[in-house]
Amino acid sequence: MLELSVIETQRLRLHPIAPSDASFIQESASAREISDTMISLTYPYPAGEAVRYIARQQAELLSGHSATYTIRKNETGFFCGLIELRDIDREHWQAELSFWLDVKVWGRGYMSEVVQAVVQYGFDTLGLNRLYAYHVLRNPASARVLVNNGFKQEGGVAATSDEMGTIRGCCAESHFTGRVATISLKSQLFCILGFRLHDEPVD
C-alpha cells in the first residue's frame, strides 16, 4: 500500500481520493468537453461511475499500483479535477500520469502547477525512474502543460485505431535537477517518458 499525504501548490491542494468525492467527480466528468479530451472517459458518463471509479482507485492504492488525487482550490476547497499516477510498475519503476480539469477552471494554469508537483512526487517520494502519459491531439492545452513543465520533442509511433489517425512524436527534458524526461506524441495520443538518474543501474 502507498502512503499518500496532501500535496500543496501555490493555489491548489491535492487530496488522496475518497468516497466523499463521488458527487463532485460525477458532475464534472459528465461534461461533454471532458470526454472529448480524454481517452479513458466516455460520454455520457455512466450513472454511478464515479463511485465505481473511486472503489477501483482505492483498491489499486492498497495494492501499491495507483496514487489518485483530487485537485481543490486552497482557499475555497472548490473541486477542480483529478490527477493520478497509475499502473505503477515496481519492477521497472515507472507509472502512467493521467489528469483532467473541470471545465469551469480551464485556462488558469492550474494543471501546470499540479503536474509539476506530482511529477516531483513520483520521482522523489515514489522513487520512479520513468513517467508516461497519453494525450489526445485535439486537446493542445494538455500538450502545453507538459511542454511548459520542461519537455521537448522526441520520435513517433503508429496509431492503434482508425479514429486516432497518424502518430507524431516529441520528447522533453525536465526542469527537475538530474532528470531527463521524454515525450512521445501518438496520433491522438501523447506519451511522456520521464527518467530520473540513479547512482546504480536500473532495468
Please write the tens of the pLDDT for every residue from 3-41. 899 999 999 999 999 999 999 999 999 999 999 888 788
* pLDDT the model gives residue 116: 93
Question: Could you tell me if 193 and 181 are in contact, meaning their C-beta atoms sit under 8 angstroms apart?
Answer: yes
Please name the helix (run of DSSP H) or strand (run of DSSP E) that holds residue 29, with its range, or none: helix 22-29
* pLDDT the model gives residue 155: 43
Q: Which residue has the cell 463532485?
A: 24
Distance in Å from the first CA to the final CA of the chain: 23
Structural domains in the chain plus CATH codes = 7-196 (3.40.630.30)
List the Cα angle 56/60/63 in 5-degree steps. Answer: 145
Which residue stretches of the chain have pLDDT < 70? 150-203
